[in-house]
Every structure is written in structure tokens, then in C-alpha cells.
Amino acid sequence: AQAAALSTNAIESLTTTQATMLTTSALNALTSLQIAAMETADLAALTTAQISKLSTQQVKLLSSDQIVGLSTEQVSSLSTGQMAALTSDQLNSIESRDLQILSSTQLRSLTTAQVSKLTTDQLQLLTTEQMSNMSSRQISALTTEQLNGLASNNLQALSSDQIRSLSTAQLSNLSTDQLALLTTNQVQALTTAQVTSLTSEQLNNLTSDEVEALTTAQIKVLTTAQLSNLSSTQLSQMETRDIAALTSAQAKVLTTEAIAALTTEQVQALTTAALNSLTSVQLAALEVADVANLTTAQINKLSTAQLNLLSTEQVAGMSTDQIQALSTAQFATLSSDQLNNLTS
């Protein structure tokens, strides 16, 4: 009651020694006007016990200068309730050295609204441990500017759960440079909805390691537009199990460059349905060695139209087992040029 009766002039004239003598109950009784009247130096002289007892309303009324004046020890003593009470301007006033000593508990107490107001400079200053301990809700509150401003080590510190918490809008607006920084574990953590939200430009800029890391489930949901924009180098990095997961619709949109870049193992991994969907232009792009390594089951499922479109070189490269695997209808469709190029 006595402390609350002090005028703002009296509060302003307190020495730092007098300020530290205030009991926590007396300090807690100060009004917003009295708190605002405290000199920055007086506030900075308060003990951590005194600081931690300020009400959330009192904390909310601290000026930016008062926040800047807080010591590292004082900032680290702020309770989760006090942290959650900070305004955007107050948060943005926290000095870099103080920001880096915030505990994971303090950081996690920030609301999503507060997190979305952190500056890109502040986010860059967070340690990888702090970043990895932010909640999924907080990560999902980050703006496009904040995500694209994350330092590479902080981006790569995000856990699988944090990566999965990103909305499709957040992910589709991630710069190609940032997306290329994701670790293989992070790429594999992407949900199928997130994968389908990636733009063609983003997919086209995935590194070979990232493409290789894509799971079969992720490959299956790639749209034809996305697949058609993958480079031949990227496609050649896919695991054979992923190539085997391609649907007929997906296989049909692969570019001739991509088809030509497939390894013999990848070509062998194509399902008969996928192989059967290839156009004449795609078939022509198959290397002679790739055709020669098709399984007899694959050969047997080629349509007569497809078989007729194989070049004489491709037919000449077929093995005896492959020729014997041809059905009567398939053999009958071979042109005279193709037949003349069969080796004896």
C-alpha cells in the first residue's frame, strides 16, 4: 500500500540501491504508471527474484528501453507467463545476447502470434538447440519471410515433426535455395500433401541426394506436371524401388532425356503397365542396352504397336530369351527391316 502511494516523481528519483531494497510484494503493488516511471538503470538493478515477481500486466507495460536495459540474468529469470505477456515491440527489443540464453521452456511459452513477429535477424541468432525445441505450432506460425530467412544450420535443425507441421502454403513458398538445404531425413519426413504442394521449380532444384531420399510413398503422389519437370540427372538418382512405383500416367510424362538417362536396373524396375504406357518417342529414347536388359515379362507385355516402333538396332540387340518370349501376335507385327536385323 505504501509503495503504491509513491508518486511517479518519487519512483523516478529512487536510487538503484533503493530500488533493489523494494520487497517483491511492494514491487508487485506498483501501478503501470509507477513501473513506467522507473529509470532503466533502476530496473536493471533489480534482482532476478524481483524481476520474476513482476505481474504479467507490469511486464507488458515495460518500455522498449527498459527491456533493452535488462541484464542477461534478468531475462533468463522471466517466467513463462511473463514471456507470453511480452508485446511484439518488447520481443523485438530483446538484445541478441539475451535472446540466445532463453531456455527452451521460455521459448516454447511464446504464443504463435509472438513467434510470427520475431524478426528474421532474431531467428537467425537462435541456437540450433533452441530452434529444434520450438513447438510444431510455433513452427507452423512462421511467415514465408521468416522461413526463407532462417540460417542453414537452424533450418537443418528442424525435427521431422517440425517439418511435418509446415503447411503446404509455407512449403510451396520456401525458396529453392532453402529447400535444397533440407537434409535427407527432413525430405523423407515430408507428408504426401506437402510433396504434392511443391512447385515444379522447387522440385527441379532438389539436389541429387534429396531426390534419392524421396520415399516410394512420396514418389507415388508426384503429379504428372511435377514429374515432367524433373531433370534426367534427378531421375537417374531415384532408387529402383521408386521407379517401380511409377504409375502408367507418371511414366507417360517422362521426357525423352529422362528416359535415356535411366539405368538398365531402373528400366528393368518399370512395371509392365508403366512400360506399356510409353509413347513411341519414349521407346525410341531407350538405349539399345536398356531394351536388351528388359525382362521377358516386360517384353511379353509390349503392345504390338510398341514393338513395331522399336528401331532395328533395338531389335537387333534383343537376346534369344527375349525373342522367344514374344507372343505369336507380337512376332507377327515385326517389320521386315526388324526381322532382317535379327542376329542369327
Q: Domain for residue 33, yes or no?
A: yes
Q: CB burial class (10 A; 0-12, 13-18, 19+) of residue 45?
A: buried
Residue ending a domain, choose from 27, 54, 89:
89
Sequence letter at residue 161:
D
Q: Domain for residue 212, yes or no?
A: no
Q: Domain for residue 186, yes or no?
A: no
pLDDT of residue 104: 93
Structural domain span for residue 84 = 1-89
* pTM assigned to the model: 0.83
CA distances from 7 to 12, 15, 32, 46, 258 (A): 9, 15, 12, 19, 79
Q: Domain for residue 56, yes or no?
A: yes
Q: Domain for residue 328, yes or no?
A: yes
Q: Domain for residue 8, yes or no?
A: yes
CA distances from 23 to 1, 5, 26, 94, 190 (A): 12, 15, 5, 26, 53
- Do residues 309 and 281 touch, judged by C-beta distance below 8 A? no
Residue ending a domain, choose from 89, 106, 129:
89
Q: Give every CB contact of residue 49 below 8 A, 6+ residues apart in sequence.
A: 24, 77
Residue ending a domain, choose from 49, 73, 89:
89
Q: Domain for residue 252, yes or no?
A: no
Q: Domain for residue 14, yes or no?
A: yes
pLDDT of residue 35: 82
**pLDDT mean for each 10 residues of the chain (344 residues):** 68 81 83 84 91 91 92 95 95 90 95 95 94 97 96 96 97 95 97 95 92 94 91 90 94 93 94 92 93 92 90 91 91 88 72
Q: What is the DSSP letter of 342?
A: S
d(CA 84, CA 60) in angstroms, rounded, equals 9
What total number of domains does the chain contain? 2
